[in-house]
Each structure stands twice: as C-alpha cells, then as structure tokens.
C-alpha cells in the first residue's frame, strides 16, 4: 500500500520535500550574515535623504546638480542619470544602483553558500540522503535569498515612506528585484561550476558586466534610454524611475528574468548528479614543482591577487578619468565641497577629489588584506594546515608565505591603482602614487589585526571582517554624516595625511607602521605558542 501511495503522489511534491526544514536551517546559519548585509544596505539608502537635504537643500542647488548631470557623462557613468528633483528622486539616483548591486552581492553569496558550497564540502550528500527532495536545497537557497530581499524591500519602503510611499515602494521592489535576478543567476552558475569560489567569482563578474553596461549606456545618453542600459538589470532599476513617474512595467522585466533564470537553474539541477558540474574540471600535472610553503601560498593566492590587481588598476583608470568632471560638479556646491574636503583635505578641489577616491580604494584594500591573511585561518580550519605543518615547515615560515602575499599584495594593488589614476588623469603622477602608497600603513594595521586575532584568538579570527566593515562604514559614511571626531579617529585611515594636496605628515604614518609591526609580531608570537586548531 505504502509503495503505491508513494508512486501515485505527484513528483513535484516529493522533489520539494524538506524545503521548509532546510530553509529554517539556512536562515539560522545566516542569522548574522543576512541581517548585517541587509542592515548596512538599508542604512545606506535611508541615510541618503538627510545627507542630500544638506547638500542640495535649495532649488537652485538641485537645478545646478541636474544641469551638471546632463552635461557630465563620466559622472552619469558612475551614478546614473537624475530623473527628478525631489529628495526621493535624488535618493533613488544617488544610491539606487549601488543598493541594487549590494543586494545582488548579498543574494549571490546566500545562494552559492547554500548550494554549491554545500555540495563541494560534501555536506549536501548527507542532507540529500535524508527525507529531502531533489529540488529542496535549491529552493531553500532561493527562498533564503528571497527572505533577505523581501526584508530589504520592506525596510526601504517603510524608511523612505516619508518621501512618498509610491516611490519608496518602487525603489524597494526594484532593489529587491535586482537582488533576486542575481540570486537566480547564482543558482544557474552554481550548476555550472564545481567550485563555490568560482561560482561566486563568475556571478560577480556578471554583476560587474551589468554595472559596466549600465555605465556605458548612461554615459552615452542622459535619460537611461540607451540599449546598453536596457541590457543591464541595474539599468532596469534606474529605468523604473522611483519618485519620477514610476514605470511599473519595468518590474515585469525583473520578474520575467527571475522566472526564466530560475527555470533554467531548476532545469540544469535536474540534469546532473550531486557534486558534479557542467563545466568539467581539467586534470592537473602528474608531478609538481611546488617545493616550499611559500610557493604553495602563492599558488593558492595568485588568482585572487591577479583579480584584485586588475580591479584596482581599472578603478584607478575610471576614477582618474572622471577627476576633472567631478571637480566641476562639486565646484559650485558648498555642502559637497565640505564633504570632499573632510575626506580629502583642504587644498584644491581636484586634489580633494583625488584624495577622497584614493582613500576609498585604501579602504577597499583593507578587505583584500583581511581576505588574504585569513587564508591562514581557512587553511587551519579545513585541516589542510596540520599535515603541512607535520612536514619540516615551521609555523612562522608557513604564516610568512601568506603574509608576504597579504602585505606585499596590498602594496601592489595600491601601486596599480595609482598607475591607473595616472593613466586616467594624466597629471600629477608622482603625487598620486605617493597618495596611494600613504594608505598602506592603515591597510597594514587592519591586516595586523587579522594576524593578531588569528595568532592569539583563532576562534575570533573571522571577527576581523567586522573590524574591516566598521572601518569601511566610518570611512564611507562618516564624513557625510558629521560623525564626531572621536569615532572617525577609531579608524586608522582617519589619521593619514590627506594626499595629494595636503602636507605629508610622517608622524602618524610612522606610528601606524609601528602599530602594524607590533600587531603582526604579537600575532606571530601567539601563533608560535598556541595549539593548532581543527
């Protein structure tokens, strides 16, 4: 009887068996990650009306801004066109694309984490052997992303309701829609690759391409009507035009893309074995040339160093290219000038813009160094470090291999950013390079925190991400929000001289360098003394 009953039951209901349990499990595992990403994103959006009010308080200032955006194509490439002069419309213009991109990153991380990551680690096999349907894991992952995006949409809608509920709803749904487009995109890519890292990288590359398409389209046209813009989900978000005669039908594009991509992901998932992928893994050499722990560290990290190098160089070229235009834009606006000066120093506006952009890249380089140092932690917790250290490899030598790449790599990517700026801007090559390199002591302090925690408190090593996130938040949002000096001073970046343009101060630079040295030395001393963890 039981078997007949099972056979008669529709296939779909069995394929989804256990989805609810898996979803609860996924949300429990993400109970910190999702709230942080969604919270930061909502904070960024909701803090905008206040900031913009201060910057563009008068109709004359807004008219000026709109005129500038119509004429300045490089700024449109960066932010997108303005469709209205209400605070709501300005908010949607200033952060819409970025909030959408951040939602996309959150979504792709969540989806890959609960699909390919699980398969790669082998945990999925155990789960699937239970009372779990063939499609339950993918569904649970997409639902977890949907929960995150729905909460974000709700926060944005409720938080911006004061500027008008219709526009708030459009912006909230648009941001969440972009999030779901990339959630389903990640679901497809997770079927194609065997490695979660590669799945994250490829989906991020698609996101980057979407940004570039929109940027190219927006620099060509000032009303978002370029074909290139329409090819990008981020372009759809801006063309939804929240707070500027919303075009609700654009939501159908987002929904259609989500539906199509979701269907494709399910189709692919149903056609492959667990743990397998559509892109085959190529065989490697039968013998190897690696002979030292340092060579191994380089082999493990070289791909990411290359990626960051390219990214920083291109960012430098892009920012360098828009330097002149940016100075023009800010030129007439007292509020914006104040912010740039607080970020970039008191000198000429061009230098202030350059200094603030270089500072931004310095903050991002802190993320690189944390990721790179924490490879040590990853190697240790994945049990790969133990057999390696059972060879004639001292712990310090093992750590040194990764730390050279982390600290040296940070110098390399800042240098490349500087060369990019030089290429894009074409002037002041020496001062710009100096400005890039002067960021390093602060970047290294953050790296030092990672070394310290890994060496002394390995359980808390991942908390370095929190430190980097806080420093990023202080650096990005602090100057615009009139945050008290004491808070800004917590970040090592707050103590750096504002170059180019400002005076070089060796005092704080040397203090930060010394601090970095102390942090690294203490961390390494701790690593030498403590038990290895598994």
Partner 1 sequence: MTKAITVSGLHKSFGRTHALDGLDLEVASGEVHGFLGPNGAGKSTTIRVLLGLLRADSGAAQVLGRDPWADAVEAHRRIAYVPGDVTLWRNLSGGEVIDLYGRLRGGLDPRRRAELVERFELDPTKKGRTYSKGNRQKVALVAAFASDVDLLILDEPTSGLDPLMEEVFQRCVEEERDRGRTILLSSHILSEVEELCDRVSIIRKGRTVESGSLADLRHLTRTSVVAELAGPPNGLSALPGVHDLDVRGRRVRLQVDTDRLDAVLRSLSESGVRSLTSTPPTLEELFLRHYQDEAAAR
Decide whether 5 or 392 has the Cβ nearer to partner 1: 392
Q: Which residues of 463-484 are buried (b: 16+ CB within 10 A; e: fewer)?
A: ebeebbbebbbbbbebbbeeee
**Least Cβ distance, residue 530 to partner 1 (angstroms):** 8
Backbone angles phi and psi of 482, in degrees to 5: 55, 45
**Least Cβ distance, residue 396 to partner 1 (angstroms):** 10
The number of residues that bind partner 1 (CB under 8 A) is 35
Decide whether 386 or 482 has the Cβ nearer to partner 1: 386
Tell me if 389 contacts partner 1 by CB under 8 A: yes
**Least Cβ distance, residue 342 to partner 1 (angstroms):** 44
Burial of 492 (0-12, 13-18, 19+ CB in 10 A): buried
Decide whether 300 or 513 has the Cβ nearer to partner 1: 300
**Least Cβ distance, residue 413 to partner 1 (angstroms):** 22
Name residues contacting partner 1, limited to 492-531 (CB under 8 A): 529-531
- Nearest in space to 101 (alpha carbons), one of 220, 18, 31, 206: 206
**Least Cβ distance, residue 367 to partner 1 (angstroms):** 22
- Nearest in space to 529 (alpha carbons), one of 399, 337, 368, 347: 399
Q: CA 389 → CA 199, 293, 396, 522, 532, distances in Å? A: 30, 9, 10, 20, 10
**Least Cβ distance, residue 193 to partner 1 (angstroms):** 11
Interacting span for partner 1 (CB under 8 A) from 96-104, 110-118, 388-396, 404-412 = 388-396
Cβ-Cβ contacts under 8 Å for 224 (sequence gap 6 or more): 80, 81, 83, 217, 218, 235, 238, 239
Q: What is the 3-state secondary structure (H, E, C) of 458-512?
A: HHHCCHHHHHHHHHHHHHHHCHHHCCCHHHHCCCHHHHCCCCCCCCCCHHHHHHH
Using CB under 8 A, pick the residue from 30, 117, 118, 120 that binds partner 1. 120
Name residues contacting partner 1, limited to 262-291 (CB under 8 A): 281-291
Tell me if 391 contacts partner 1 by CB under 8 A: yes
Tell me if 405 contacts partner 1 by CB under 8 A: no
Name residues contacting partner 1, limited to 193-252 (CB under 8 A): 194-195
Using CB under 8 A, pick the residue from 10, 59, 387, 507 that binds partner 1. 387
Decide whether 15 or 195 has the Cβ nearer to partner 1: 195
Q: What is the 3-state secondary structure (H, E, C) of 135-152?
A: CHHHHHHHHHHHHHHHHH
What gap in Å lies between CA 413 and CA 358, rounded to an integer?
12
Decide whether 58 or 391 has the Cβ nearer to partner 1: 391
**Least Cβ distance, residue 382 to partner 1 (angstroms):** 6
Secondary structure class of 96 (helix, strand, coil): helix
What gap in Å lies between CA 410 and CA 394, rounded to an integer?
24
Q: What is the 3-state secondary structure (H, E, C) of 300-311?
A: HHHHHHHHHHHH
What gap in Å lies between CA 443 and CA 440, rounded to an integer?
5
Tell me if 390 contacts partner 1 by CB under 8 A: yes
Interacting span for partner 1 (CB under 8 A) from 50-58, 144-152, 219-227, 381-389 = 381-389
Tell me if 293 contacts partner 1 by CB under 8 A: yes
**Least Cβ distance, residue 165 to partner 1 (angstroms):** 49
Contact string (CB under 8 A) for partner 1, positions 299-338, x = contact: xx--------------------------------------
What gap in Å lies between CA 80 and CA 463, rounded to an integer?
35
Decide whether 255 or 388 has the Cβ nearer to partner 1: 388
Give contact residues for partner 1 (rule: CB under 8 A). Answer: 120, 194-195, 281-293, 296, 299-300, 382-384, 386-394, 529-532
């Amino acid at each position: 009887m039981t078997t007949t009953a099972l056979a008669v039951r529709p296939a779909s209901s069995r394929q989804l068996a256990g989805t609810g349990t898996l979803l609860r499990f996924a949300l429990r595992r993400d109970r910190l990650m999702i709230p942080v990403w969604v919270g930061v994103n909502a904070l960024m959006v909701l803090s905008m009306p206040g900031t913009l009010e201060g910057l563009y308080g008068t109709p004359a200032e807004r008219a000026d801004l709109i005129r500038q955006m119509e004429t300045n194509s490089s700024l449109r490439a960066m932010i997108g066109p303005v469709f209205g002069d209400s605070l709501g419309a300005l908010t949607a213009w200033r952060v819409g694309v970025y909030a959408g991109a951040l939602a996309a990153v959150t979504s792709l991380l969540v989806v890959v984490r609960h699909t390919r990551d699980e398969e790669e680690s082998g945990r999925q096999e155990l789960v699937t052997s239970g009372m779990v349907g063939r499609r339950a894991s993918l569904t649970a992952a997409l639902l977890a992303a949907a929960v995150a995006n729905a909460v974000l949409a709700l926060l944005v809608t409720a938080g911006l309701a004061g500027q008008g509920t219709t526009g708030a709803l459009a912006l909230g749904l648009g941001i969440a829609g972009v999030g779901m487009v990339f959630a389903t995109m990640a679901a497809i890519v997770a079927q194609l690759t065997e490695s979660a890292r590669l799945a994250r990288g490829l989906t991020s590359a698609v996101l980057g391409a979407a940004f570039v398409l929109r940027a190219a389209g927006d620099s060509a046209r000032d009303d978002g009507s370029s074909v290139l813009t329409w090819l990008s989900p981020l372009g759809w978000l801006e063309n939804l035009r929240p707070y500027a005669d919303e075009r609700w039908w654009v939501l159908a594009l987002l929904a259609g893309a989500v539906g199509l991509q979701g269907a494709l992901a399910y189709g692919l998932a149903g056609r492959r074995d667990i743990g397998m992928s559509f892109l085959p893994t190529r065989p490697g050499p039968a013998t190897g040339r690696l002979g030292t722990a340092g060579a191994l560290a380089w082999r493990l990290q070289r791909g990411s160093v290359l990626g960051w190098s390219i990214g920083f160089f291109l960012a430098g070229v892009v920012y360098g290219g828009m330097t002149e235009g940016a100075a023009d834009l800010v030129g007439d606006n007292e509020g914006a000038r104040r912010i740039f000066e607080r970020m970039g120093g008191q000198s000429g506006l061009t230098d202030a813009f350059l200094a603030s952009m270089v500072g931004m890249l310095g903050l991002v380089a802190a993320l690189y160094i944390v990721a790179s140092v924490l490879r040590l932690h990853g190697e240790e917790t994945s049990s790969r470090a133990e057999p390696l250290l059972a060879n004639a490899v001292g712990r310090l030598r093992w750590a040194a291999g990764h730390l050279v790449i982390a600290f040296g790599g940070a110098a390399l990517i800042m240098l490349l950013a500087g060369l990019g700026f030089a290429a894009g801007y074409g002037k002041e090559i020496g001062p710009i390079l100096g400005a890039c390199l002067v960021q390093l002591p602060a970047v290294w302090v953050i790296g030092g925190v990672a070394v310290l925690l890994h060496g002394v408190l390995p359980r808390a090593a991942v908390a370095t991400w929190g430190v980097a996130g806080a420093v990023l938040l202080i650096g990005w949002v602090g100057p615009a929000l009139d945050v008290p000096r004491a808070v800004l001073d917590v970040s090592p970046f707050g103590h750096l001289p504002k170059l180019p343009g400002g005076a070089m101060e060796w005092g704080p630079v040397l203090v930060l360098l010394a601090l970095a040295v102390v942090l690294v030395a203490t961390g390494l001393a701790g690593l030498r003394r403590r038990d290895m963890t598994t």
